[in-house]
Chains A and B, each alone.
Chain A
Amino acid sequence: MTSSTETIHELANQKYKYGFVTDIETDSVPAGLSEDIIRLISAKKQEPEWLLEWRLKAYRHWRTMVEPRWPKVDYPSIDFDQIVYYSAPKQRPKLDSLDEVDPELLKTFEKLGIPLEEQKRLTGVAVDVVFDSVSVATSFKDKLGELGVIFCSMSEAVREHPELVRKYLGTVVPYTDNFYAALNSAVFSDGSFCYIPKGVRCPMELSTYFRINAAGTGQFERTLLVAEDSSYVSYLEGCTAPQRDENQLHAAVVELIALDNAQIKYSTVQNWYPGNEEGKGGIYNFVTKRGICAGVNSKISWTQVETGSAITWKYPSCVLKGDGSVGEFYSVALTNHFQQADTGTKMIHLGKNTSSTIVSKGISAGKGQNTYRGLVRIAKSATHARNYTQCDSMLIGDRCGAHTFPYIEVNNNSSQVEHEATTSKIGEDQLFYCRQRGLSEEDAVSLIVNGFCKEVFRELPMEFAVEAQKLLGISLEGSVG
């Protein structure tokens, strides 16, 4: 381990933080999208006929749709013919140990304070690294296997567990759902599949690190997570991406299904390349995430810390169908420099006695624009449904913006819906107070912002919370003064 640790330290002293292009030979399809390209992707992945058909249906539907323009974000039109829709490392490296993992990848983890080996050794986290579009490392599989837990790449799931994938894929986010979900359904390259059998409490946090690598490659991840009756799982998703001049499109779909009394906790730290200080480059992050609490007393909890991407467009949602089911959304979204975020959630109450909690913390610095957009819908059938929403915005400096669009639709008069919102500015007096006690200005901003986000951070698993706090500090560099 010594030699690679040294390499990590050398690399860590370089200026760039997470922007590097790893030099691994890749196997890509030509740019642009057509039925032939989809057939090619499907053939490369040796997929069954039903999946190809599903992709083609999605593609044909996507052709009839137009790019949504309702989010409060501003960017030039995307040329979908310039995008490479599939890219996989040509030679899948077989890894006997972490020494063989790309040191640059390790460096990124190191910089975040959670090196992969440390994670494995100390926390027993099973890590499925999605390197570009194909998984290159999966661990702890045997241990999970004993319990009947399936945690693998989507490609593998299609091969090994086609009946499960076919039963659930597209049931929460159908390909007709929206423009980017349709696109994803047509071209998704890989992603994660997770299945927790009845009565099993998954003993470790399942974690996937996504990376976008090959230049000009859009990444279309597809994640499907099924929790059977009375099961429990905590899933962590974390992302970093290399520096790039062109904007890169990322359009993922995540589907969660919780059956009777099942609980899913889904945590995300998103730190993709946000573009430079002039607003050039950066990832377009257009994601559809939705979970259904299909069974009685089931629970889905989303926690997200969004610090990266040039544009974020994301509404992790819960459909509360089962009676007594619970949906939660805890979010920190930070925009600095020219970043734009339009994010929030949807809580759709269908079942009786369903309840939902929304806690959103938006932080805007530089010329960042931060929008909370949330929908709470109480259906006629949702007797005694309850929602509590708290939506706080913090402004740093006077060139940024915070916006709030709460939508509330109530069709059952036995329900109870609460909404609280605040907007505050980091005060000169708060900063002065901290500096008078010896904190540097940057430490002071980081401290105040982390305090503001505390209610969300405490929902994160411990090691993820530590990473999230560091990310906030890094993302806020240069936001004052």
Chain B
Amino acid sequence: MLKVSHLQARVDGKMILNGLDLEVKAGEVHAIMGPNGSGKSTFANVLAGHEAFEVTGGTVEFDGKNLLEMEPEERAWAGIFLAFQYPVEIPGVGNTYFLRMALNSIRKARGQEELDSVAFMKVLREKVKLLKLRDDLLKRPLNEGFSGGEKKRNEILQMALLEPKLAILDETDSGLDIDALKIVADGVNTLRDGTRSVIVVTHYQRLLDYIVPDYTHVLYKGKIVKSGGKELALELEEKGYGWIQESHAA
């Protein structure tokens, strides 16, 4: 589904990704861990097409297409979803209105019929119920005045609604209490149907107790320096990132 080869990218002239390789097959969940500044968020944003990051080398293939040539919205239509580390606030834009606009933009691009408000509300209510979210989140302007936890839950709601092929979670767990963490995990786990894939970018192992990854990778200085199964995450939790850094300093 996703094939990243020797990906290099920089921001403000500074190289962040230095030849990253990763392959994600349909139905797999990959966890990407690493110390601060290792390039985790950059990688997530490059996949989604943020223009602040300049790709200077390498290739990214998604479903056989050259992802790097696509506009951000085209990537969304193709099925890529990024749960933002810092979701932005858009004052005056109703959350429900935005969700419907997003879903219909994607449906339209895929040649599906757009949902009218009645049909949409039905779908939305199901997702809200599934994720055990509070209704009032829908009535407020998009992320405006939301707490950190509410913003992250709202990201998961969007993910559940848009049903992406590849969901990328960029430190969605940071700043969440245990209840919110479970909601996030539930959202991701309901997406796991054997065909959809997930990349979980995280700093801590905690989230991986609830979203059990098929593979764990350690990102360090813009490269994946170690890969393993779910037990690698536990090992990192125990030993910290120090031993990785030491082995690569040598």
**Interface positions of A (Cβ within 8 A of B):** 427-430, 432-441, 443, 447-448, 450-455
Contact = CB atoms under 8 A, between A and B. Distances in A.
18 contacts: A428-B52, A433-B84, A433-B90, A434-B102, A436-B75, A436-B84, A438-B73, A438-B77, A438-B162, A440-B105, A441-B71, A447-B93, A447-B98, A447-B101, A451-B93, A451-B141, A451-B142, A453-B92
Contact of B105 (A427, A438, A451, A452): A438
B92 A455 contact: yes
Contacts of B76: 435-438
A406 B190 CA distance: 55
Given A430-B90, A437-B158, A438-B162, 15 more contacts: A427-B88, A428-B52, A433-B90, A436-B48, A436-B82, A437-B106, A438-B73, A439-B73, A439-B102, A440-B73, A440-B105, A441-B73, A450-B92, A450-B93, A451-B90
Contacts of B98: 437, 447
Interface residues of B, number: 31
B72 interface: yes
Interface string B89-119: 0111100001001110110010000000000
Report which residue of B75, B81, B101, B162 has the largest number of chain A beta carbons within 10 angstroms of its beta carbon: B101
Interface in B9-59: 48-52
A438 B109 contact: yes
A435 B73 contact: yes
Nearest to A448: B90
A432 B91 contact: no
B87 interface: yes
A436 B77 CA distance: 9
A428 to B, nearest CB: 7
A434 B109 CA distance: 15
B189 to A, nearest CB: 22
Nearest to A439: B105
A438 B51 CA distance: 16
Contacts of B75: 436
A196 to B, nearest CB: 33
Contacts of A447: 90, 93, 98, 101
Contact of A439 (B50, B81, B91, B101): B101
B151 to A, nearest CB: 11
Contacts of A440: 73, 105
The SS class assigned to the A binding surface is: helix
Nearest to A427: B88
Nearest to B168: A436
A104 B90 CA distance: 38
Nearest to B106: A438
Nearest to A451: B92
A404 B159 CA distance: 41
Interface of B: 48-52, 71-73, 75-77, 81-82, 84, 87-88, 90-93, 98, 101-103, 105-106, 109, 141-142, 158, 162
A438 B102 contact: yes
A476 to B, nearest CB: 15
Contacts of A434: 90, 102
B73 A452 contact: no
Nearest to A449: B92
A33 to B, nearest CB: 46
A97 B88 CA distance: 51
A441 B51 CA distance: 13
A435 B90 contact: no
A428 B11 CA distance: 14
A436 B72 contact: yes
A443 B106 CA distance: 13
B157 to A, nearest CB: 12
Contacts of B71: 435, 441
Report which residue of B52, B72, B82, B91 has the largest number of chain A beta carbons within 10 angstroms of its beta carbon: B72
Nearest to A447: B93
A441 B49 CA distance: 13
A439 B109 CA distance: 10
A393 B109 CA distance: 33
Report which residue of B87, B88, B98, B141 has the largest number of chain A beta carbons within 10 angstroms of its beta carbon: B88
B84 to A, nearest CB: 7
A433 B83 CA distance: 10
Contacts of B92: 450-455
Contacts of A433: 84, 87-88, 90
B6 to A, nearest CB: 25
A443 B90 contact: no
A128 B93 CA distance: 34
Given A435-B71, A436-B48, A437-B162, A448 B105 contact: no
B74 to A, nearest CB: 9
A438 B82 CA distance: 11
A443 B101 CA distance: 9
B82 A443 contact: no
A434 B84 CA distance: 12
A428 B88 CA distance: 10
Contacts of B101: 439, 443, 447
Contacts of B77: 438
A439 B104 CA distance: 9
A462 to B, nearest CB: 16
Contacts of A427: 88
A184 to B, nearest CB: 36
A437 B52 CA distance: 18
A440 B109 CA distance: 10
Contacts of B102: 434, 437-439
A440 B108 CA distance: 12
B164 to A, nearest CB: 10
Contact of B72 (A432, A448, A454): A432
Contacts of A451: 90-93, 141-142
A165 B87 CA distance: 58
Nearest to A433: B88
Nearest to A457: B92
